[in-house]
Amino acid sequence: MNDPSSGNYTFRMHLEGYPQMKAADCSTIDFRPVRFVLNPDGTIRLLTWYDQAKNWTFSQYISVLLDECDPYGLCGTYGSCDLTRPQSGRSACECLGGFVPKFPEKWKLSDWSGGCVRADQLTCESEDRFEKTPNLKLPDTHNAWFNRSMNLADCETECRKNCSCTAYSNVDIRQGGTGCMLWLGDLIDMRNYLDNGLPLYVRSSSQLGVNGSSRKKGGVKIIAVVTPAVVGVLVLLGLYLIYVFRNRKLRSKGLMTFKPDNDSGNKEEGEDLELPLIEFELIAKATNKFSLNNKLGEGGFGPVYKGTLDDGQEIAVKRLSKTSKQGLDEFTNEVKCIAKLQHRNLVRLLGCCIEDGEMLLIYEYMPNKSLDVFIFDKELSVSLDWPQRYSIINDIAKGLLYLHQHSRLRIIHRDLKAGNILLDHEMSPRISDFGLARSRSFAGNESAVNTVRVVGTYGYMAPEYAIEGLFSVKSYSYSFGVLVLEIVSGKKIRQFYNSKDNLNLLGHAWKLFNDGEFLDLTDEAMLESCKSSEVLRAIHIGLLCVQPYPQDRPNMTMLDSENELPLPKQPGFFTRAECNRVQSLHLTTLDQI
């Protein structure tokens, strides 16, 4: 029998992350309701929680969109729709506590699609607060992780350990609330209720007070601290002036160098780890006073500018932003990691500047920007044929092999992604952005180390690192595997989703590989130039690298050989449902966190 109601609209359960119902027009999500039950008579009824009666009450569901707040993502990220108060002079959308509109002028015109951004950047440290917002429709759970056995206190502890965790709440609000739900990304599609909503605990900056206002110290404490501080400043002022005068004389003679502290345990390596200091005035001149026309982009460290020195050499300048999550530690770490690294597939650091509160890193200029600019753009992707992409994959592997085995410092890059692969004038890749990297000498049989601060980009992080904070050389094998599949497919790991099979990019690639349809994964822009045997090997290696367990992933030496490869197992899915498997995975590792 033919379907009498075929059309573009679908209403179904989405299993990625935590299961939820969504109504969509083709691939565009229109509506995400609270909770529904499909009755035997075929009607869909809305469940409403009544606190006094302590039960759920059914009401006939008549219209898909009940009111102005129901369209999916109406208020953008970190925005919540609120119709609970009189609307005179108010917009329907409001930002969560500690957030402000991303585009204030558009917000005033009731265009809320841009959402909200943080008023103050997070430091991802133990001082971060969690702002409770009551009576909410909880955000879309496509990027959520849950555990039914944890309580709310455990949930906060788990979220605080992971820099990617933006909010948490109970899975079940009955009996005082049980279970734990973590959101590992942007929060979207929320609304306020007068009552019967759910509480959400949103990560906030330690610099904000209860309602997003700056916290102030007590006046008595300030007085107690100021007096000895002033005395100390006066004592040190003379020494400081002598130090500044001496440094200026050295700098004028070109003798100043930057020597970061060495914590690798190898004194010999740290003694000659120095880098030329370049005057701020020279850098400002080279970048036309950091003109917007010279701005190349912006990352976690801060903005990046193109500059030209007096001798005609082109440079790229990373300037630490005042609101950056990164600071002196990351600055020093980047200098320490790459000042003495010499490899054609690593970006070259030319010098740095630490002057009057400014911190800048000066690199060789890469004219073709970053890899993501090409592979994720429909027009530019045609300029990268398969031979070029295959060469880029191999060169990145060579750079990682150098970092892992052949460099003086054993470096683990904790934020390997397409945006951190720069391309020179010959389209050869250069691995960049070592601010979050770790230099480590693994002692004896030590294969991994633990870190209390999980940093990086969600989607590229290995399971054991994102959840347990354990990182090793096998952790960036996982990131490399994700990157390989992105290069082959031209699809972003955090944006691709196969709704038919409820698979993300990793799951989709694994299914096509097993079905013998691996060519269907390749970017259409390079189909005519691709060599099937090379494409198959690249996908094969990519799938081996994204295995859920580190011991199943290949070493970088395997990537550089032509030996026969083992068959890959099912990848480690992070945004795909498989709720029972994901839940059991987390349960077995929680005690190790």
What is the distance between the alpha carbons of residues 353 and 315, in angstroms, rounded to a whole number?
14
Phi, psi of 214 (to 5 degrees): -70, 140
Q: Quick one: tokens of 95?
A: 């930002």
- Residue 585's identity, in one-letter code, is L
Find the angle CA(561)-CA(563)-CA(568) to the nearest 5 degrees. Answer: 105
- Exposed e or buried b per residue across 57-73, where buried means at least 16 C-beta atoms within 10 angstroms of its C-beta: eeeeeeeeeeeebbbbb
Element (H, E) at 282: helix 280-286
Clarify whether 51 is annotated catalytic: no
Q: Quick one: tokens of 447?
A: 């294969």
What is the distance between the alpha carbons of residues 186 and 77, in angstroms, rounded to a whole number?
6
Residue that has been written with the tokens 């500690």 in this structure: 98
CA distances in angstroms from 187 to 80, 115, 417, listed in the order given: 10, 10, 23
What is the distance between the alpha carbons of residues 163 and 466, in angstroms, rounded to a whole number?
9
3-state secondary structure of 516: coil
What is the distance between the alpha carbons of residues 306 and 168, in angstroms, rounded to a whole number?
41
What is the distance between the alpha carbons of residues 350 and 317, in angstroms, rounded to a whole number?
10
Catalytically annotated residue among 82, 415, 433, 523: 415
Helix residue ranges, H only, 294-447: 328-338, 371-375, 386-401
The per-type count for the chain, helices as H runs and strands as E runs, is 14, 31
Which DSSP string do the residues of 144-209 spell out, in sequence order?
EEEETT--HHHHHHHHHHBTT--EEE-SB-GGG-BSEEEE-S--BSEEE-SSS-EEEEEEE-TTB-
Phi, psi of 456 (to 5 degrees): 135, -160
Active-site residues, by number, are 415
